[in-house]
């Protein structure tokens, strides 16, 4: 007759039945031969009952065969019921035998007692049975435990399988870009996992053991990991959408998209970090997004300020007009963006922008008038010289410039309208007279009947524009570190600062040797959300850059003296076709060929000219080497 032992009745260590090996004698029963029963158990399972018999062994019955495995002389049968399975070990001199039944496979538990002892039978999937002869005392408790454990395991496995199927579906939806459906599938999987967790908790509360809970743990981890991947995938798509909107100057839509991306990254990082792959990578993407949003929020005003400063610095009035027009457009965008929003998201104080917009409008009007007046004076000179046809062309150019100035004044500088109309009226006499001369009308007087003199006191700003630029507005787009750096520079090296400020950023860039220019280009790309690094010496590229899965090869024109030739640009176009890069960037601070447009918007070859590089350097406070100053005989800035 065998015996039944309930493990939790033992204080301290396990009973010797689980820890000892070796055969018995005439007056003692043996154990197992190869290793102790406890050694057969896995670390994740907890033994609850031990059942033994000395001679009758274990009977395994299938639909076709019945086999009884009996212990050898001096050994016995030791069956261990754990929170994971039933393990029957039969000792023998030739080697122990093992029969194991997972509790998840148990369909039914039967038990009976008689004069010769008790019998415990478990029915497995497929209607096979495993029967163990043992003692009677405690047999009913064993059967009840096995029945409860098998029911709990079957329920957990049912929920586990359903959740796993849902997670597979969620992954498929994510890969197809159907993020809402993917997230919904994960939520249903989490509900299944929660149900399984509840079953495991209730079983453990009544019977002890952790195997069921440990079965649920990886399922919950997989749910978290899958959900994190969905949040990150959605965030990346939103980031790409934001970049597309930004390229199209749809700043508010771009910001909205970046906000959705930020929500996605935050949702992923709010999950259990232990369950997520590459938490640091997700955090790095989120931090990079924050830098991108900072660039976006400053972009409209930065573009306005850049054009504004270029207009102030321009020597040619025609160039200044183009820059003033661009500055006006960008200032208007910066002023109107987020109009009516409770919390303004973009850089710049509206009152300051409005004041500067008015100043830019005055400067544009004054510069357009300057062009008109210069053309009118040239017409007068040619007229006095008897060159009527040339004079007529100049007067017509002046008329066109006055109309442009009047259009600007009517739009945003009404105080100048009457002044400009007076000057335009004076020009019309010249046009009529000169046209008549060109047509051969000899009766035309060689003097003007009326000398209309404009009232130059009407607006003092309609002389030559004098402006220091947008100095009052630049703080809104200056990086936080720039002010501190400027203060430090003043105290450390005022002479060096004076020399640096006397040179434009483009001039300073042109003074850099090849390797230092490459390093600056890398820093500039980093500030524009690319991750740039030096390439192999044998590579045709100086740098490789990556962003959101796109790979870009960067060629830097290293010469400090030679202009860029079309052949260099064409070579970059060839590299775009020959290499595995998604696009190729050609960076130079020297002059570009006249037939090449910098930074084409939709091409696999992009050009990064000196003005563009300098704009990022100035806007983001990218540091240049201390000796990046123009040398004697250096080139002038070419914008």
Using DSSP bridges, classify how beta strands 58-61 and 66-69 pair: parallel, antiparallel or unpaired: antiparallel
Instruction: For residues 53 and 67, give the distance between their C-alpha atoms in angstroms, rounded to a whole number.
Output: 17
Q: Cα torsion for 144, 147, 149, 155, to the nearest 10°?
A: -150
Chain segment 475-488, per-residue pLDDT in tens: 666 654 444 444 43
Q: Which two tokens stand for residue 264?
A: 């996605």
> How would residue 627 be classed by pLDDT, with cut points 50, 70 and 90?
low
In the chain, where are the structural domains located? 4-137, 142-277, 303-462, 492-620
What pLDDT score does 546 carry?
Answer: 85
The mean pLDDT of the chain is 83
Instruction: For residues 327 and 354, give the distance between their C-alpha atoms in angstroms, rounded to a whole number.
Output: 12
The pTM (predicted TM-score) of the whole model is 0.68
Residue pair 417/454 in contact by the 8 Å Cβ criterion = no
Average pLDDT score over residue span 257-275: 94
Q: Which CATH number fits domain 492-620: 3.30.43.10, 3.40.1350.10, 3.20.20.80, 3.30.110.40?
A: 3.40.1350.10
CATH of domain 4-137: 2.30.29
Chain segment 7-35, per-residue pLDDT in tens: 876 666 788 888 887 776 544 567 888 88
Instruction: For residues 135 and 2, give the distance between their C-alpha atoms in angstroms, rounded to a whole number.
Output: 5
Least confident range of 394-403, 435-444, 468-477: 468-477
Instruction: For residues 400 and 402, give the distance between their C-alpha atoms in angstroms, rounded to a whole number.
Output: 5
Least confident range of 199-208, 450-459, 463-472: 450-459
Instruction: List all residues 6 or more positions away from 432 whose beta carbon is below 8 Å from its beta carbon.
Output: none
Instruction: List all residues 6 or more positions away from 471 whose beta carbon is below 8 Å from its beta carbon.
Output: none
């Amino acid at each position: 007759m065998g015996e039944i032992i309930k493990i939790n009745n033992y204080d301290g260590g396990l009973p010797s039945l689980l820890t000892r090996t070796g055969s018995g004698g005439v007056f003692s029963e043996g154990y197992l031969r190869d290793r102790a029963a406890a050694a057969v158990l896995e670390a994740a399972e907890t033994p609850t009952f031990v059942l033994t018999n000395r001679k009758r062994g274990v009977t395994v019955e299938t639909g076709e065969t019945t086999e009884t495995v009996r212990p050898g002389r001096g050994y016995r049968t030791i069956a261990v019921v754990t929170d994971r399975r039933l393990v029957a070990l039969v000792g023998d001199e030739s080697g122990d035998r093992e029969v194991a039944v997972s509790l998840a496979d148990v369909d039914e538990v039967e038990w009976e007692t008689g004069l010769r002892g008790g019998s415990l039978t478990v029915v497995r999937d497929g209607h096979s049975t495993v029967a163990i002869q043992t003692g009677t005392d405690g047999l009913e408790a064993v059967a009840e435990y096995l029945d409860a454990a098998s029911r709990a395991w079957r329920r957990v496995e049912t929920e586990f399988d359903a959740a796993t199927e849902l997670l597979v579906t969620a992954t498929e939806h994510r890969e197809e870009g159907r993020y809402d459906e993917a997230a919904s599938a994960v939520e249903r999987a989490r509900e299944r996992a929660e149900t399984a967790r509840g079953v495991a908790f209730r079983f453990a509360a009544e019977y002890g053991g952790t195997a069921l809970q440990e079965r649920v743990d990886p399922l919950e981890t997989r749910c978290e990991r899958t959900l994190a991947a969905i949040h990150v995938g959605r965030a990346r798509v939103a980031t790409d959408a934001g970049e597309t909107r930004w390229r199209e100057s749809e700043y508010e839509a771009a910001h909205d998209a970046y906000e959705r991306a930020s929500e996605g990254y935050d949702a992923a990082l709010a999950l259990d970090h232990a369950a997520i792959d590459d938490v640091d990578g997700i955090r790095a993407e989120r931090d990079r997004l924050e830098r991108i949003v900072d660039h976006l929020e400053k972009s409209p005003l930065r573009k306005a300020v850049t054009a504004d400063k270029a207009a102030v610095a321009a020597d040619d009035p025609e160039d200044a007009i183009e820059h003033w027009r661009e500055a006006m457009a960008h200032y208007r965008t910066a002023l109107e963006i987020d109009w009516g929003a409770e919390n303004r998201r973009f850089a710049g104080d509206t009152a300051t922008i409005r004041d500067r917009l008015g100043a830019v409008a005055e400067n544009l009007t004054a510069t357009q008038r300057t062009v008109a007046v210069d053309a009118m004076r040239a017409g007068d000179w040619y007229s006095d010289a008897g060159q009527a046809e040339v004079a007529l062309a100049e007067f017509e150019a002046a008329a066109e410039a006055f109309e442009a100035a009047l259009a600007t004044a009517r739009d945003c500088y009404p105080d100048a309208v009457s002044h400009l109309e007076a000057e335009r009226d004076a020009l019309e006499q010249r046009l009529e007279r000169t046209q008549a001369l060109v047509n051969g009308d000899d009766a035309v007087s060689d003097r003007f009947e009326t000398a209309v003199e404009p009232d130059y006191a009407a607006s003092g700003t309609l002389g030559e524009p004098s402006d220091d630029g947008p100095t009052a507005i630049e703080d809104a787009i200056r990086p936080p570190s720039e002010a501190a750096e400027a203060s430090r520079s003043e105290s450390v090296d005022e002479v060096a600062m004076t020399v640096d400020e006397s040179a434009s950023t483009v001039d300073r860039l042109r003074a850099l040797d090849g390797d230092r220019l490459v390093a600056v280009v890398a820093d500039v790309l980093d500030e524009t959300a690319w991750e740039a690094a030096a390439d192999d010496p044998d590579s045709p590229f100086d740098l490789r850059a990556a962003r959101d899965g796109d790979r870009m090869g960067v060629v830097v024109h290293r010469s400090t003296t030679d202009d860029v030739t079309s052949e260099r640009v064409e070579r970059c176009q060839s590299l775009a076709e020959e290499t595995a890069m998604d696009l190729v960037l050609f960076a130079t601070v020297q002059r570009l060929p006249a037939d090449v447009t910098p930074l084409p918007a939709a091409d696999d070859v992009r050009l990064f000219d000196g003005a563009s590089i300098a704009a990022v350097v100035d806007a983001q406070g990218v540091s240049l080497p201390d000796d990046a100053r123009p040398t004697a005989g250096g080139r002038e800035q070419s914008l």
